[in-house]
């Protein structure tokens, strides 16, 4: 049995933690929200209420083998992405870096920015445009510096989807135009495969290690939502240009709109070097299972 610490046990972190619990490990979940504490405790997590932006709250973190930094804004639009991703990681490392054999950062393929229609791999230079992607790139640099690189894992995830996590499905059900580009390419990963990939790579690879976590089958948004409409037996999707009047809406920003347009992210390292086998190898398999299970949004 190993001790695992997940910093930011949200949607993805919970799936990773469940895998580790099933394997018999002791799993600590550091979260900010007291409302989630009882839910995670009921599943077997050891819950720590703390805030990565408040160093004093991080005193007394447990020693262990693997640390996974998987924080997210959690709907808080006002939170600084630099503070959350880069500075929060620095605060955590000040307390636990010397005691862990593996330190893993959940990053994003957004760090590549806009890169034309060519395939992207882990050696492609980063050109992040969005604030959140720039902050994640800075967090990557922090972790990959000499002081921590001998235990560093960076997971660059594509768009995560899964049960109760399909953007704009309510628009589709209500026959409302989807405020996004139909021609944009989505580089996706089902949350169960994302969690399995993180666990698999941590067992297979030696640090320092950077891995793209995507299913390797980019799909146009039009095709994604057309398939979802078919499965839900609703009208075919209609698309409309998003309004950028609300500058706080990060998902509808002009940069976000362009950034997704032609990016093709390779998963060759994950598949060929690590031997990853996907439960949901493409969006069709993933959507079919989600709809079969049923979901709320």
Report the pLDDT value the prediction gives residue 263, as an integer from 0 to 100.
Answer: 87
Q: What is the pTM of this model?
A: 0.91
CATH code, domain with 197: 3.40.50.720
Phi, psi of 240 (to 5 degrees): -140, 145
In a domain, 120, yes or no: yes
pLDDT band, very low/low/confident/very high, at 240 (cuts 50, 70, 90): confident
In a domain, 117, yes or no: yes
When the pLDDT of each residue in the chain is averaged and rounded to a whole number, the result is: 89
Residue 97 lies in domain: 3-165+187-217+264-278
Contact predicate 40/223, CB 8 Å: no
Report the pLDDT value the prediction gives residue 258, as an integer from 0 to 100.
Answer: 46
For the chain, the domain total comes to 1
In a domain, 84, yes or no: yes
In a domain, 226, yes or no: no
In a domain, 157, yes or no: yes
pLDDT, tens only, 132-186: 999 999 999 999 987 889 999 999 999 999 998 999 999 999 999 999 889 889 9
In a domain, 160, yes or no: yes
- CA atoms of 244 and 297, how far apart (whole Å): 24
What are 160's strand-pairing partners?
Answer: 189
In a domain, 53, yes or no: yes
Contact predicate 27/8, CB 8 Å: no
In a domain, 289, yes or no: no
């Amino acid at each position: 049995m190993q001790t695992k610490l997940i910093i930011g046990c949200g949607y993805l972190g919970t799936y990773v933690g469940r895998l580790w619990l099933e394997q018999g490990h002791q799993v600590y979940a550091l979260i900010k929200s007291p409302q989630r504490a009882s839910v995670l405790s009921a599943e077997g997590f050891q819950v720590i209420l703390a805030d990565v932006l408040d160093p004093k709250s991080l005193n007394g973190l447990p020693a262990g083998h693997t640390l996974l930094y998987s924080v997210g804004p959690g709907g808080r639009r006002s939170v600084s992405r630099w503070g959350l991703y880069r500075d929060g990681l620095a605060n955590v490392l000040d307390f636990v870096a010397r005691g862990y054999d593996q330190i893993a950062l959940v990053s994003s393929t957004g760090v590549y920015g806009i890169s034309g229609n060519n395939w992207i791999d882990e050696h492609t230079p980063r050109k992040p445009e969005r604030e959140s992607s720039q902050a994640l790139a800075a967090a990557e640099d922090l972790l990959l510096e000499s002081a921590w690189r001998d235990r560093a894992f960076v997971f660059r995830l594509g768009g995560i989807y899964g049960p109760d996590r399909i953007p704009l499905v309510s628009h589709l059900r209500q026959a409302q135009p989807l405020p996004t580009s139909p021609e944009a390419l989505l580089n996706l990963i089902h949350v169960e495969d994302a969690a399995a990939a993180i666990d698999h790579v941590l067992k297979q690879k030696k640090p320092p290690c950077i891995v793209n976590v995507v299913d390797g089958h980019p799909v146009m948004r039009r095709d994604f939502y057309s398939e979802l409409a078919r499965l839900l037996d609703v009208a075919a999707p209609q698309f409309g240009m998003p309004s950028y009047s609300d500058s706080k809406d990060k998902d509808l920003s002009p940069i976000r709109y362009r950034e997704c347009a032609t990016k093709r992210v390779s998963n060759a390292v994950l598949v060929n070097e690590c031997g990853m086998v996907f439960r949901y190898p493409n969006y069709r398999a993933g959507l079919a299972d989600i709809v079969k299970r049923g979901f709320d949004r």
